[in-house]
């Protein structure tokens, strides 16, 4: 190459590196902040979503003002408030009917000191899911009871059996059926689930075939759903967490989401912090996002960094997923991150006269991938060139 060509080539490389640096600078400037929100002081309650979910925040926080109320009491009180209020139709009775038009409930509660959990999944005909989960925690050596056996356990422990459907939930299901059962969660079946309600016959797949993995993804975009996931910190510093939901609307009967799964719907280690999650539960449980978030705290991340890291991990595999993560450390510092929607979370701590709702802009998958291309070696080279 001639001397003139060599100079031109180096100039082009220098210009390319400068543009890469400016692109990265622009991306970083528009990336959500990674610092944690300051702790308002203890006691403290934090949970997914604002709007009607703030009634749960207030109920749990006000209960904690009585020193005789424990962190686990507060979580039960808060989640039970949403169950009674049918928060956004996605918690408690009368919401999210399955294909058979039945509402079932999932819930989990966790003690941050012992790390013991109690949970119910696919709970039928009993409204008080979070309280039944607490009975599993305190009156069995198990972690999770499911279906009719969970119902039997609840009845044995004094809970009332009743129909969880309402006229509104039944009409919602019938309207879905009239619309050819769209959208739904069936894949790789005949007749085509995009146009038919079934009954369905499975199509045999070849797991060695090219493109097999792509066949495992949902064939239609079923709507995301909400969950209340809550972390409470007692004035003494003792922590607890819990989750309650009626799951995904029009789910296949028997489906269990991420809500009652330890480390997915919520998680707490009283020495470190806690986490609550909401979103595409079938995807999120593959990553145990709340377990990962708390481990991120243990490794020194701020709550905001811990939440963003978890969302980015999921987006690398599922860039179109909807998620919301709220994280709080043992001091009450907190942060959140989400994808696919504008996520909100609610927090109330010592001295606050009202619950604060914090809005979290979505993390963008393509932004993270693009910023990742600007490697440390490129930046070092650019610094040398400049």
Closest CA to 90 of 261, 244, 281: 244
What radius of gyration do the chain's Cα atoms show? 24
Structure tokens at 257: 């989401």
Q: Strands 105-111 and 117-123, how do they pair?
A: antiparallel
- Please check if 256 is assigned to a binding site: yes
Which entry of 81, 227, 243, 245 is annotated as an active-site residue? 227
Would residue 57 show up in a list of annotated catalytic residues for this protein?
no
- Please check if 281 is assigned to a binding site: yes
Closest CA to 75 of 236, 237, 239: 239
- Please check if 255 is assigned to a binding site: yes
DSSP codes, 113-149: TT--EEEEEEE-S-S-HHHHHHHHHHH-S-SEEEHHH
Residue 325 to residue 335: CA distance in whole angstroms: 8
Residue 325 to residue 337: CA distance in whole angstroms: 5
- Please check if 316 is assigned to a binding site: no
- Please check if 280 is assigned to a binding site: yes
DSSP codes, 156-190: HTTPPP-----HHHHHHHHHHHHTTS-S----SEE
- Please check if 257 is assigned to a binding site: yes
Known binding residues for substrate? 255-258, 278-281
Q: Which residues are catalytic?
A: 227
């Amino acid at each position: 190459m001639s001397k003139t060509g060599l100079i031109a080539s180096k100039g082009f490389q220098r210009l390319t590196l400068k543009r890469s640096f400016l692109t990265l600078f622009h991306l970083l400037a528009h990336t959500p902040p990674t610092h944690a929100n300051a702790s308002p002081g203890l006691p403290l309650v934090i949970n997914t979503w604002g709007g009607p979910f703030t009634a749960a925040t207030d109920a749990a926080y006000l209960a904690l003002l009585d020193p005789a109320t424990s962190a686990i009491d507060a979580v039960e009180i808060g989640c039970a408030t949403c169950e009674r209020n049918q928060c956004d139709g996605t918690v408690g009775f009368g919401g999210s009917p399955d294909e058979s038009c039945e509402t079932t409930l999932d819930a989990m509660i966790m003690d941050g000191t012992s790390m013991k959990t109690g949970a119910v999944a696919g709970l039928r005909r009993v409204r008080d899911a979070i309280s039944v989960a607490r009975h599993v925690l305190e009156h069995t050596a198990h972690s999770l009871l499911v279906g009719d056996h969970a119902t039997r356990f609840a009845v044995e422990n004094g809970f009332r059996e009743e129909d969880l459907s309402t006229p509104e939930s039944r009409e919602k299901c019938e309207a879905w059926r009239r619309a050819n059962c769209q959208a739904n969660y069936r894949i790789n079946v005949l007749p085509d689930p995009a146009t038919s309600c079934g009954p369905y016959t499975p199509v045999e797949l070849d797991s060695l075939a090219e493109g097999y993995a792509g066949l495992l993804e949902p064939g239609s975009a079923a709507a995301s759903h909400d969950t209340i996931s809550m972390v409470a910190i007692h004035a003494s510093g003792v922590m607890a967490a819990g989750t309650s939901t009626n799951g995904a609307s029009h789910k296949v009967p028997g489906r269990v989401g991420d809500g009652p799964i330890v480390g997915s719907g919520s998680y707490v280690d009283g020495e470190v912090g806690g986490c609550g999650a909401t979103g595409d539960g079938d995807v999120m449980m593959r990553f145990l996002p709340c377990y990962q978030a708390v481990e991120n705290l243990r490794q020194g991340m701020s709550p905001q960094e811990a939440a963003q890291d978890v969302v980015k991990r999921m987006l690398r595999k599922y860039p179109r997923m909807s998620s919301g993560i709220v994280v709080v450390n043992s001091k009450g510092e907190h942060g959140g991150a989400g994808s696919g929607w504008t996520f909100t979370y609610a927090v109330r701590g010592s001295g606050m006269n009202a619950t604060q709702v914090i809005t979290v802009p979505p993390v963008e998958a393509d932004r993270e991938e693009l910023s990742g291309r600007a490697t440390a070696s490129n930046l070092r080279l650019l610094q040398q060139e400049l």
